[in-house]
């Protein structure tokens, strides 16, 4: 049975009650103060405290839900994972600190890693003893990821890595980075790339924070100057890095996106309240935009639920491109609507800096860029689903 607003099976309903009960019992005391904290534009907020909360969740078995039990996960079904994310967002629990390890690298190692790599890294992802960052984008390789020029070669039993990554989220907090590097000299495009696991704590790795529109620094430039990692820390075959990198992207677009939409719903509800409080709700144009936002969010939810099974298969298909286009535009529009409702007040800050609406407005400018820009998603749909001629490539 599909999940969503249809009748839930008894086991799913019991699972929902268990999650809801656990969150109510545990999001108390010091943890209660963390409600709603963190997330894009606010990753720096209460990071250490949110790590403690994540560890608490982990100890109780509420992290790595979709991982198989033999790898330390909960072996939860897709519908249980959806339910967990929905309840988590509904409880306004803090934003998770370990997204990269738990949702991206963990599933990648389970699917493609050796048993030594799994034994070495999965337990520390689960306990949050090691945080990860994603070393894909470079100054000349963003949308065109296959243009990666960071290079790596084997010497004296180690990979030697040289090059620059950019926009590397949370690299300043991570102990490890999964890096796409060119390991066949002279190779071009998708060929000759490898997926390496590189420790960040070494003198040959330099992390330089980049300041965002929000004034905070959540992403970074990362420079590898003959940095080292062990020869065995390549995921998949040497030269097969493109396939592994695409596998990671497939996991990135999985179940967690539904929890994100419950968060969007909470933002919309709060904006409706703000419009009522400020009187903006009497403006027909504002009413129209709020109503449209409500309807479009229902459409996104229906699309994601309908296509979840193909997305969780681990290969990004055109369904996830449709979803990305819809939610990125929706969220960016919500930020703009928030500013319209705030009116002139929205243009000034007090000594505490940006408020939640200003931060939403500024950070959502990034939504149509990261995880594949709008233009790239449209290209994917045009070529793979509509069968339009491939765009000219150099």
Binding residues for ligand FAD, rule: CB under 6 A, are 133-137, 142-143, 167-169, 219, 366, 369-370, 373, 375-376, 379
Closer to ligand FAD by Cβ: residue 157 or 394: 394
Q: If phi over 0 gives left and psi between -120 and 50 gives alpha, with beta otherwise, what is residue 389?
A: beta
Q: Residue 274 Cβ, how far from ligand FAD at the closest point, in Å?
A: 25
Closer to ligand FAD by Cβ: residue 71 or 165: 165
Q: Backbone phi, then psi, for 126, in 5-degree steps? A: -65, -40
CB of 233 closer than 8 Å to CB of 117: yes
Q: Residue 392 Cβ, how far from ligand FAD at the closest point, in Å?
A: 9
Q: Using N-to-C axis directions, what is the helix angle for 256-278 and 318-342, rounded to 10°?
A: 20
Q: Using N-to-C axis directions, what is the helix angle for 318-342 and 356-363, rounded to 10°?
A: 140
Closer to ligand FAD by Cβ: residue 62 or 178: 178
In whole angstroms, what is the distance from residue 82 CA to residue 393 CA?
39
Closer to ligand FAD by Cβ: residue 328 or 341: 328
Q: Residue 375 Cβ, how far from ligand FAD at the closest point, in Å?
A: 3
HSE-up of residue 150 (Cα within 13 Å, Cβ side): 32
Residue sitting closest to ligand FAD (CB) = 142
Active-site residue flag, 252: yes
HSE-up of residue 355 (Cα within 13 Å, Cβ side): 10
The owner of tokens 């470079």 is 138
CB of 197 closer than 8 Å to CB of 188: no
Closer to ligand FAD by Cβ: residue 237 or 375: 375
Q: Give the strand pairing for 234-235 and 193-199.
A: antiparallel
Q: Residue 9 Cβ, how far from ligand FAD at the closest point, in Å?
A: 37
**Catalytic pick from 43, 102, 103, 252?**
252
Q: Residue 126 Cβ, how far from ligand FAD at the closest point, in Å?
A: 21
CB of 267 closer than 8 Å to CB of 36: no
Residue numbers annotated as active site: 252
């Amino acid at each position: 049975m599909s999940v969503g607003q249809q009748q839930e099976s008894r086991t799913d309903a019991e699972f929902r009650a268990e999650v809801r009960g656990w969150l109510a019992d545990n999001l108390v005391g010091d943890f209660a103060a963390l409600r709603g904290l963190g997330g894009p534009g606010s990753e720096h907020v209460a990071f250490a405290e949110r790590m403690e909360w994540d560890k608490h969740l982990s100890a109780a078995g509420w992290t790595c839900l979709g991982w198989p039990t033999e790898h330390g996960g909960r072996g939860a079904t897709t519908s249980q994972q959806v339910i967990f994310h929905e309840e988590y967002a509904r409880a306004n629990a803090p934003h998770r600190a370990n997204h990269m390890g738990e949702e991206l690298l963990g599933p990648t190692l389970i699917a493609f890693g050796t048993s030594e790599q799994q034994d070495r890294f999965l337990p520390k992802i689960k306990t949050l003893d090691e945080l990860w960052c994603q070393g894909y984008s470079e100054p000349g390789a963003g949308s065109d990821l296959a243009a990666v020029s960071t290079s790596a070669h084997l010497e004296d039993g180690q990979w030697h890595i040289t090059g620059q990554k950019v926009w590397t989220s949370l690299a300043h907090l991570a102990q490890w980075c999964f890096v796409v590097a060119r390991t066949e000299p002279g190779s071009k495009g998708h060929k000759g790339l490898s997926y390496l696991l590189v420790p960040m704590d070494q003198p040959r790795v330099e992390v330089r924070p980049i300041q965002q529109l929000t004034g905070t620094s959540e992403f970074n430039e990362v420079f590898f100057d003959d940095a080292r990692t062990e020869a065995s820390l390549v995921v998949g075959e040497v030269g097969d890095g493109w396939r592994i990198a695409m596998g990671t992207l497939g996991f990135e677009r999985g179940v967690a996106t539904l929890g994100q939409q419950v968060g969007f719903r909470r933002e919309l509800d709060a904006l409706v309240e703000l419009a009522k409080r400020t009187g903006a709700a009497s403006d027909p144009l504002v009413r129209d935009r709020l109503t449209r936002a409500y309807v479009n969010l229902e459409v996104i939810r229906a699309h994601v639920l309908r296509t979840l099974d193909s997305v969780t298969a681990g290969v990004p298909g055109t369904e996830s491109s449709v979803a990305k286009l819809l939610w990125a535009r929706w969220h960016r529009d919500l930020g703009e609507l928030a500013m319209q409702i705030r009116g002139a007040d929205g243009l000034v800050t007090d000594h505490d800096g940006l408020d939640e609406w200003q931060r939403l407005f500024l950070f959502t400018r990034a939504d149509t860029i990261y995880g594949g820009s709008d233009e790239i998603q449209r290209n994917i749909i045009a070529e793979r689903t509509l069968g339009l001629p491939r765009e000219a490539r150099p």
